[in-house]
């Protein structure tokens, strides 16, 4: 807790929001994700790791593209035996930051992209509504994320917390996720 307070109270090099760096950015994230309905019957929540590239169109809006990978364990009774599987999410996003103060902003983001399960564990359990014959079927997804964005380490670095919902319509399921991220703007 003390470490978090020191991060929040560290002096920023900028004296105005317009002094923060804008343009091309890279962002890394780590968090967790869990399915809500269909896949929740067979899959435990798991860790998710992500990497995004973004470009600021305005000081308050950016376009982003990225990848997230999540690992889950099955928790359904055998057969088949318990195993692990990965979900790979490729996405594009539009992010909006609403300033609350010099260092704090509310983050809102709309996302969409493609996902695939490796191995296709939902087909193994016959939960997926898409073509069960494909081993790594690609399915579209869309979602929304909200959070807090903090500029506390100077004009180029920001970090934040975000959480959201994503829906995989072909699978007939949704997932909730949360993450801590660190962004560097060039």
| Residue 141: both structure tokens together | 């997804």
Collapsing DSSP states into helix, strand and coil, what is residue 10? coil
pLDDT above 50 for 135: no
For position 117, what pLDDT does the model report? 83
Q: What percent of the chain has pLDDT over 90?
A: 55
If pLDDT is split at 50, 70 and 90, which confidence band does 12 have? very low
CA-nearest of 165, 155, 172 to 22 is 155
* 6 domain-assigned: no
* 2 domain-assigned: no
Q: How many domains does the chain have?
A: 1
CATH of the domain at 143: 2.40.160.20
CA distances from 9 to 4, 16, 103, 159, 183 (A): 9, 16, 10, 14, 18
* E strand residue ranges, 59-156: 61-73, 84-99, 104-118, 138-150
Question: Would you say 109 and 98 are in contact if contact means Cβ atoms under 8 Å apart?
Answer: no
* 30 domain-assigned: yes
Mean pLDDT of 118-143: 68
* 7 domain-assigned: no
For position 122, what pLDDT does the model report? 67
If pLDDT is split at 50, 70 and 90, which confidence band does 182 have? very high
Mean pLDDT of 140-152: 94
Mean pLDDT of 4-21: 58
Domain holding 70, by residue range, is: 20-74+83-185
| Residue 30: both structure tokens together | 């780590």
Residue 131 DSSP symbol:
-
* 4 domain-assigned: no
Q: What is the pLDDT of residues 77-121, one digit of tens each?
A: 777 788 888 999 999 999 999 999 989 999 999 999 999 888 767
pLDDT above 70 for 130: no
* 154 domain-assigned: yes
For position 14, what pLDDT does the model report? 40
* 161 domain-assigned: yes
* 15 domain-assigned: no
Q: Indicate the helix (H) or strand (E) that contains 4.
A: helix 2-9
| Residue 71: both structure tokens together | 């690992």
| Residue 7: both structure tokens together | 């991060």
CA-nearest of 110, 134, 116, 93 to 171 is 116
Mean pLDDT of 35-41: 77
The overall longest dimension of the chain from CA atoms, in Å, is 61
Distance of CA 136 to the CA centre of its chain: 21
């Amino acid at each position: 807790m003390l470490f978090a307070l020191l991060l929040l109270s560290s002096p920023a090099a900028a004296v105005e929001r317009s002094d923060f760096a804008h343009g091309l950015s890279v962002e890394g994230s780590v968090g967790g994700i869990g399915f809500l309905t269909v896949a929740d019957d067979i899959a435990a929540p798991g860790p998710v790791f992500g990497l995004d590239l973004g470009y600021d169109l305005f000081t308050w809006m950016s376009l982003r593209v990225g990848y997230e990978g999540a690992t889950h364990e099955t928790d359904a009774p055998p057969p088949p035996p318990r195993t692990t599987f990965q979900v790979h999410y490729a996405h594009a996003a539009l992010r909006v930051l609403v300033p609350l103060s010099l260092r704090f902003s509310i983050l809102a983001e709309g996302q969409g992209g493609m996902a695939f399960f490796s191995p296709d564990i939902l087909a193994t359990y016959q939960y997926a509504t898409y073509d069960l014959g494909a081993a790594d079927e690609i399915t579209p997804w869309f979602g929304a994320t909200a959070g807090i964005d903090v500029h506390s380490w100077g004009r180029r670095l920001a970090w934040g917390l975000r959480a959201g919902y994503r829906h995989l319509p072909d699978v007939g399921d949704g997932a909730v996720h949360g993450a801590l991220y660190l962004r560097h703007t060039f």
